[in-house]
Amino acid sequence: MLGRTLREVSVALKQGQITPTELCRKCLSRIQRTKFLNAYITVSEEVALKQAEESEKRYKNGRSLGDLDGIPVAVKDNFSTSGIETTCASNMLKGYIPPFNATVVQKLLDQGALLLGKTNLDEFAMGSGSTDGAFGPVKNPWSFSKQYREQKREQRRPKLHREREGTDWLIAGGSSGGSAAAVSALTCFAALGSDTGGSTRNPAAHCGLVGFKPSYGLVSRHGLIPLVNSMDVPGILTRCVDDTAIVLGVLAGHDPKDSTTVQDPVKPFTLPSLTDVSKLCIGIPKEYLVPELSSEIRSLWSKAADLFESAGAKVIEVSLPHTSYSIVCYHVLCTSEVASNMARFDGLEYGHRCDVSVSTEAMYAATRREGFNDVVRGRILSGNFFLLKENYENYFIKAQKVRRLIANDFVNVFNSGVDILLTPTTLSEAVPFLEFIKEDNRTRSAQDDIFTQAVNMAGLPAVSVPAALSAQGLPVGLQFIGRAFCDQKLLTVARWFEQQVQFPVLQLQGLMDDCSSAFENEKLASVSLKQ
Amino acid sequence: MAARAVWLAFRGGLGRRQAFSTKANVQGSGRITVEVIEHLERLALVDFGSREAVARLEKAVAFADRLREVDTDGVEPMESVLEDRCLYLRSDNVAEGNCAEELLQNSHRVMEEYFVAPPGNISLPKLDKQESFLHS
C-alpha cells in the first residue's frame, strides 16, 4: 500500500480499501522503522492521527474533500506550521513554535492531507547535501537499497558490517534531503521542499523522485522562511509526475498574503495524455556539457534526447551563453539577500536568545554567534561584504545585470521555437557522505547547483525526473525546463518521459514487506534507457 | 567593569583564539583587511571567529570577481523576474490582528506587552589589540 502513488491510494481510500487512520498508522510505523535515515526532525503523530480521524468521518459520510483527503504528507522544516516546532535545522529556531501555517501548508490541510511531520534539511536551506543541519545529516535511503548493495557485492567492495550504522552511506542531496528521503523511503506520498538554487531538484535526482520547481509567482511563499526572496519557491517531491500535478493543483494560485504571487487565474493541472510528441521541440543547451559531468549521466542525457527524437520530436542544440557566469552571479545575489534576510534573527521576538545583557548589539551578536552555524555566518558575512557602499555597484548591481543576461538567454531560446529544455540535474549520482564533506559547503554548492540554479534566477519552472539507475544501482535524474507559467506543459512532457522510462521502485532491505509493487497495474510499453 | 568582563568572556568563548597575521595566507587581492573585518562584524553582528572564516570570505570574493569578465554595458539590473507585472497591493483595511498574546509567547523575555531588550545606543566595542585574533 505504501508503495503506491498518491492517486492510487486516494482511490483506495475512496473505495474503502483502507481507512485514513490505518494508512496514517502504517506511515508512522514506517517512519519509526526508517529512523536511521534521519529524514524527520519532528514527527507530529498526534496531530496526524487526529487529522486522520476527521478524514475518516468525512469518507464515512461520503463527503471527502478531494484527492488529497487522508493522504499522509511531510513538510520541510522551513515552512511555518502552527503549533508544531519549526527549526530550519538551526539552533537559532530550536523550540520556535509558529502561531500560523504557511499558506501552502494551510492549503494542504484544507484539502484534508495528514501532516506526518517536519523534515530535515541543511541549516536554513543552505547547502546541497542536507549535511549541515543542527540535527545531523540525512541518509539517502538508496544507500540501503537492494539495488545498491547488490552492485557493491558484485563489484567486490569491502563488505559492510552493521549496514545501518555503517559510515559509507550516501548523501540524500539538498537542501530538501529530508523531504526526499521521506518520500523515497515510502513514509509519505508527497512532501514539500523549497527550491532556491535547486534544493528540491537535487535531492529528487539523488533519491529517485520527481522534484518539481514551479514558476516563481505561481505558488505562495507566505510562511516559507525566506532565504532569497527573489528566487525562493516551494517545491514538490513525489514518486511520479501525476502526483505532483495533483499537489500543484492544490497549491497554485494567488495569495493576498504574498504580493509576489501573480494574479492570473490558475488553469487546472490535470495533465492531458501526450501520445504525439512530433510537435515538440526539445532544446539541449550546449554549455551544460561540462567536463565535470559524469560520463554515465552524459550518456543517459544523450539517450533521452534520442528517445524524443525517435518518437518524432525535434531535438536541437541551443545556446545559453552566460551559463558559466550563472553560478557566480547566484553566489553574489544569494549571499546578499541572505545577509538581509538573516537580520531578523536577533533573539528578541522569537528564537534563541543569549544571556548577554550588556547592550542590544552585544546580545544580538552573541545570539547570532550561538544560533547560526559556520555556513550561515559565512554567507551573511559575504553578503554584507558585497553590499558595502564601496562594493555595491561592482558586485551586487553587477550581479543583477548579469542576472538579466541569464534570464534573457532563456527567453531568447524559448522565443526561437523551443518548448522544453532537457539537461542533467546533477553532475553525478549521490556520493558517500565521507567524500562529500571533504570540500566545504560553498564549494559543494557551487559545484552541485550548476545545472539547477540558473532556472531560479530566471524564475522558470523545472522538474527533475528519475531516468535510470547508474552502474552502481543509484538513481540518476534528468531535468526539464519550461517557459514561465507553462508548468502544465512542462509536467505533461515530463510525464511522457516518465512513462517511457519506467524507473524502478526502491527496495529497502529489511523493509521489503511494505514495498508492494507500485507499477503493477501499469501496462505500458517500456523502453529502458539502460539498454 | 562588569560590562567589560562580560564582553571579554563572550568574545573569549569564540573558539580558537590563535593570533595570526592577515598578511600570511592571503590569496587574491588582500582586501580583507583588519578594518574590513571589524566593519563587517559590526554590520552583520556576526563574527568571523577564526582564520578559516576569513580565508573563506577571501575565496568567496575572488570567486565573485569573475563577474568583471561579463560585459554589461547598457544592461539594466534585474530585481525581480516579475518586473513586467504590477505588484499586487491589497486595500488598506484591517482584516486580522489582535494576536499580541500569541506573538509574545515566542519571546524569551517579555514584560506586560513589551519585548524586553538590553540597553541600546551602546556600540559593540572594538577589539583590543591584545584580544584581537587579527594581530600577531
Q: Give the pLDDT of residue A157.
A: 53
Tell me which DSSP letter residue A351 carries.
Answer: S
pLDDT reported for residue B32: 84
Question: Chain A interface, mutation test: which of B38, B39, B67, B87, most A Cβ atoms within 10 Å?
Answer: B67
Q: What is the mean pLDDT of residues B66-94?
A: 92
Q: Which of residues 348-377 of A touch B (CB under 8 A)?
A: 348-351, 353-354, 356-366, 368-369, 372, 374, 377
Contacts of A328 in chain B (CB under 8 A): 63-64, 66-67
Structural contact between residues A185 and A506, judged by C-beta atoms closer than 8 angstroms: yes
A213 versus B31: the higher-pLDDT residue is A213
Instruction: With CA atoms as reference, report the closest residue to A68 among A26, A40, A110.
Output: A110
Closest-approach residue (CA) in chain B for A442: B60
What's the confidence (pLDDT) of residue A506?
81
Average pLDDT over residues B6-20: 38
How far is residue B136's CA from residue B133's CA, in Å, rounded to a whole number? 7
A99 contacts B103? CB cut-off 8 A? yes
- Averaged pLDDT of chain B: 75
pLDDT at residue A211 tops 50? yes
Place of cell 502561531: A99
User: Is the separation of the CB atoms in A435 and A171 below 8 Å?
Assistant: no
Nearest-angstrom CA–CA distance, A359 and B119: 5
pLDDT band at A328; cut points 50, 70, 90: very high
Checking if the pLDDT of A46 tops 60, the result is yes
How many C-beta atoms surround the C-beta of residue A531 within 10 A? 6
A331:B43 CB<8 A: no
Whether A517 is catalytic = no
Choice between A3 and B129, residue whose per-residue pLDDT is larger: A3
pLDDT at site B97:
87
- pLDDT value, residue B117: 92
Q: What is the pLDDT of residue A507?
A: 78
Does A213 score more than 90 pLDDT? yes
Least CA distance to A321: which residue of chain B?
B70
Instruction: Report the range of poorest mean pLDDT among A193-207, A280-294, A513-527.
Output: A513-527
CA–CA min distance A353, chain B (Å): 7
**Contact at CB, B89 and A259, closer than 8 angstroms:** yes
Chain centre to alpha carbon of residue A333: 21
Q: Which helix (H) or strand (E) holds A83?
A: none
3-state secondary structure of B131: coil
* Interface with A, mutate which of B56, B90, B92, B102 (most A CBs under 10 A): B56
CA–CA gap between residue B82 and residue A81 (Å, rounded) = 28
Mean pLDDT of B119-124: 84
Residue of B nearest to A218 (CA): B82
- How many Å apart are CA A315 and CA A430, to the nearest integer? 28
B97 SS3 class: coil
Determine, for residues B47 and A365 on separate chains, whether the beta-carbon distance falls below 8 Å.
yes
Q: Does residue A314 have an active-site annotation?
A: no
> Which CATH number is A6-280+461-519's, of 3.50.50.60, 2.60.40.1220, 3.40.50.970, 3.90.1300.10?
3.90.1300.10
CB atoms within 10 A of CB B71: 10
Nearest beta carbon to residue A339 from set B44, B49, B115 = B44
What percent of chain A clears pLDDT 90, i.e. is strictly above it? 79
Q: Is the pLDDT of residue A77 over 90?
A: yes
Summarize pLDDT for A310-319 with one digit per residue, the tens: 999 999 999 9
Question: Within A155-223, where are the H helices?
Answer: 177-184, 201-207
Q: Is A82 a catalytic residue?
A: no
Give the per-residue pLDDT at A403: 96
Averaged pLDDT, B20-45: 69
Residue A42 has pLDDT above 60, yes or no: yes
Confidence bin at A168 (pLDDT 50/70/90): confident
Model pLDDT, residue A524: 31
Render pLDDT for A145-167 as a digit per residue (tens, 0 to 9). 888 888 777 665 555 444 555 77
Backbone φ and ψ for A308, nearest 5 degrees, come out as: -65, -40
Q: Does A344 touch chain B (CB under 8 A)?
A: no
Cell numbers standing for residue A77: 522544516
Q: How confident is the model at residue A212 (pLDDT cuts 50, 70, 90)?
A: very high
- Amino acid A276 reads D
Query: What pLDDT does A443 receive?
Result: 83
Task: Compute the average pLDDT of residues A365-391.
Answer: 93
Residues B20 and A531: their CA atoms lie apart, in Å, by 58
Q: What percent of chain B has pLDDT over 90?
A: 40
B87 vs A414, higher pLDDT: A414
Amino acid symbol at A287: E
Identify the CA nearest to A194 among candidates A96, A252, A126.
A126
Q: Which of A80-84, A309-313, B108-112, B124-128 has the lowest mean pLDDT?
A: B124-128
User: pLDDT tier at A309 (50, 70, 90 boundaries)?
Assistant: very high
> What pLDDT score was predicted for residue A148?
85
The CA–CA distances, whole Å, from B56 to A232, A334, A439, B32, B64 equal 25, 16, 12, 11, 12
Answer whether residue A511 shows pLDDT above 60: no
- Element containing residue A529 per DSSP (H, E): none
Confidence of residue A444 (pLDDT cuts 50, 70, 90): confident
